[in-house]
Amino acid sequence: MAYAVGIVLFALGILISVALHEAGHMWPARAFGMKVTRYFIGFGPTLFAFRRKGVEYGLKAIPAGAFVKIVGMTPQDDDVEPGDEHRAMWRYPVWKRTIVLSGGSIMHFIIGFLLLWITASFVGMPNPALADPQPAVITVQPCVIADYQRVECSDSDPVSPAKKAGLQDGDKVVKVEGNTVATWEELLLALRSTRPGAATLLVERNGQLLPPIQVDLVEVDRPETDGTLKKRAALGVGFKLTIPEEVTYGPVDGFGEAIGFTGDAFVGTWQSMKKIPEKLPKLWHALMGEERDPETPISVVGASRLGGETVERDRWSLFLLILATLNFFIGVFNLLPLLPLDGGHIAIIWFEKVRAWVYGWFKKPDPGRVDYFKLMPLTYVVILIFGGFTLLTVAADIVNPVTIFGR
């Protein structure tokens, strides 16, 4: 039940973000005096609508997005009524049109920042100390799993040497066979270099050193980085985190933390977008049944499923972080200089501006506005490519979804 609720909540968060995206276009357009006639959430049949100050607001039956109608977006638009020519969007200065066109992405950036601020201030951000080496504090496992591909003990698995030797959860290993270990990684390396069989451990419990403990390390097969199996000694312990996984900063310090996380989000978003072409073959392979690469692109369907996983496990901070990341991605993606994206329209109006300036420099008449009709074939190509990409990601997210915790 919680999983389904999480999916619905995340989908609702996306719908609200898209609705605010369109509001990000509408509000500055109205402030500048451009004529706005319609603002609707959803598509399809109208459920209800009302008019206020010349704008029709409403809700439609299919909650798959939102739209706003600004009159005269391009010189080729035929939606300008007599007497409204001066309010057509294309007649306004470039800087005003740029603000209106970029308003949707700016709104996504604001939403993303607010979500990060809420998470950092009140819910909890990943503890930065987790990036530091952690001490070799252990949890004692009931067994040593012989088959590394399993995650649970079976009757054939040997009892954990740590359990047999009387080690306890929270013990800190400080020496293995006389070799000092300070971190969990050093403990793993020390065990890998120790032969199976009798070994001596020096352990700290509740701040006090215990007498040397004798353990009988068992032999198991474990994979190397190249995939080959190698026999190793196993103690039968897991890692115990000694610091909180998440920290909150309060509303004041949380503002600064949110700024830092926002910068990281922009960098991460751009890096992810650059990797999309190389990830497409892996996305297709996942659709054909191969293991899904967790770094392959996901659709709103996949993102909503991740939202369901986080709510199911009461990980609200992760829920908000995923929603914030999605807003940053949509905001950046929408500014790409390609029609029909807002970035494509921005690129055209600035091309017109620069071209007019260059012609004026050479004492030539302004060549006028770009003919959008001539760009329609290229626009259709972009729509087909984006449409195919969307269908591919949605199909993969249904057939072979990315998961955070596994299901």
Kindly list the catalytic residues: 22
8 A C-beta contact, residue 200 and residue 214: yes
Tokens of 77: 């638009």
Longest CA pairwise span in the chain (Å): 94
Tokens of 388: 């195919």
8 A C-beta contact, residue 369 and residue 90: yes
8 A C-beta contact, residue 124 and residue 246: yes
Give the dihedral sign, CA 339/340/346/351: positive
Give the dihedral sign, CA 78/84/85/88: negative
Number of CB atoms found within 10 A of residue 162's CB: 28
The Cα–Cα gap between 25 and 114 comes to 19
